[in-house]
Amino acid sequence: MDPRIKNPPAATRTVLVHESPNQLGMRIAAELRRFSGSHRLEVLTTSRMEAALHVIRSRSIAMAVIDVGRESGEAASLLRSLGRTFPSLPLFVFNGFMMPGIAEKAKEYDHVRYCEDSGELNRFISLILESLAPKKRGMIEGILLTNFLHWLNSEKLSGWVMVSSGGRRGSLSMKDGRLVAADLGNASSSTALAEMSAWEKVTVEIHEGASENGAAGEATLAASGIAASPRVEDSPIPASVRPGGNIEELRLTRMGTTVVVRIDKLKMAAEVIRDMLPDSLQCMDVFLSSDGRSLAGWNSHPLACSAFAVISSSLQQALTMSGFPRLGKYYLLDLMNGQVVMIVLCGELQMGMLVGGKKEHLGLLTNVVLAKALKFLSESCRIEHPS
């Protein structure tokens, strides 16, 4: 074995990617490296067949990936060679130019997973990640990431979670419900989490298994034609994320001023108010006035949050246009079946509650719960002006 080749830590799996720098630019390796932290991967790349075979013979490789650009060439030869001589090595072949000869050859071998059409690169990357990942537990579509994290935290789940929304993709590592790291390509953990939290209607795939974000080993393989994988930094847990995995603070910058929202206080508010209305509260949410994003709640209803953010804004507009005084601290809606919706307004934040049952709850709502809600909302939000 080449003494210059260092083996990565035991739990890290090595993926060898053969792709030509003359093609669309080492896309597969670049995409896979985005997940090297969360999936404990070491990605080695080469454009030389001899170098690829040398690595496969001398190291433990979890899988090989070949991006084939031409029907004759080193990639095609490598496919034939690996197909014949390494039947137990998982082999992923990407035929972006849909060449029939490559398709036919790839399908000859049972251990080859094949994908064609350059538009399918995302699906190909997902296939690779899925096969490397431990057993998938399930997938949830169209949810808010903050709600999902809250649930993971309460269920004390471990594993890694792939988050996607409209072609964007990131991953989260969880341990006993705690968020260990967030990964979004080049972004740091804190930036990645903040960015993903702003995505709407995300799809999450939950996978069981190791989730610690260990540093992958650095391979020094330049001499054998293998590009060294970039060193994976330990993802620091950002100051705004508690060890418990909950987002503690949300910072919103608007027209030069920064609004800081204490999510932990809002969660406490949700619990206190839930206890005050144990039999009658049906759902509650604290949401942003600007876009209706739910930040905390109980039996959360994101759609209602968006709707009531719009209603509050329209109501304010209607009052202004009518020459009436502006909205005060709350408004109430009387619904059928004796149910009531109360929206409490406090600058950047609003709290919505659906209360059912008997009308005697109205007194409790307006005299006790309202005061408590206003207190919590004002304490949870502060505005930082630029110095």
Partner 1 sequence: MGKTLARIYQIVEEKGGLPGRMKLAQKTGISLQQAAAMRDRAELVKRFKKAAGEILETDINHLLR
CA–CA distance, 36 with 257 (Å, rounded to integer): 36
Nearest to 188 by CA among 332, 302, 70, 37: 37
Residues in 251-280 at the binding interface with partner 1, rule: CB under 8 A: 274
Among the listed residues 75, 82, 59, 79, the one whose alpha carbon sits nearest the alpha carbon of residue 13: 59
| Shortest Å distance, C-beta 277 to partner 1 | 12
Site for partner 1 contains 298 (CB under 8 A): yes
What character string, x for contact with partner 1 (CB under 8 A) and - otherwise, covers 314-343?
------------------------------
| 156 touches partner 1 (CB under 8 A) | yes
From 64-72, 144-152, 260-268, 340-348, give the range in contact with partner 1 by CB under 8 A. Answer: 144-152
Among 24, 30, 143, 315, binds partner 1 (CB under 8 A): 143
Q: Are strands 91-95 and 136-143 parallel, antiparallel or unpaired?
A: unpaired
Return the CA Rg of the chain. 27
Q: Does 242 bind partner 1 (CB under 8 A)?
A: no
Instruction: Report, in Å, the least distance between residue 172 CB and partner 1.
Output: 15
The piece of 54-62, 214-222, 226-234, 294-302 that touches partner 1 (CB under 8 A) is 294-302
130 binds partner 1 (CB under 8 A): no
d(CA 351, CA 9): 49
Our measurement of the distance from residue 5's CA atom to the centroid of its chain's CA atoms, rounded to an integer in Å, reads: 33
E strands in the chain: 13-18, 41-46, 63-67, 91-95, 112-116, 136-143, 159-165, 168-175, 178-183, 202-207, 226-227, 249-254, 257-262, 281-288, 294-298, 330-334, 340-346, 349-355, 381-384
Q: Is 353 in the site for partner 1 (CB under 8 A)?
A: no
Q: How far is the CB of 355 from partner 1 (least distance, A)?
A: 15
Q: Is residue 147 within the footprint of partner 1 (CB under 8 A)?
A: yes
Closest CA to 81 of 94, 66, 69, 96: 66
When asked if residue 139 is in the footprint of partner 1 (CB under 8 A), the reply is yes
Instruction: Point out which residues bind partner 1 (CB under 8 A).
Output: 137-141, 143, 147-148, 151, 154-156, 206, 274, 298-300
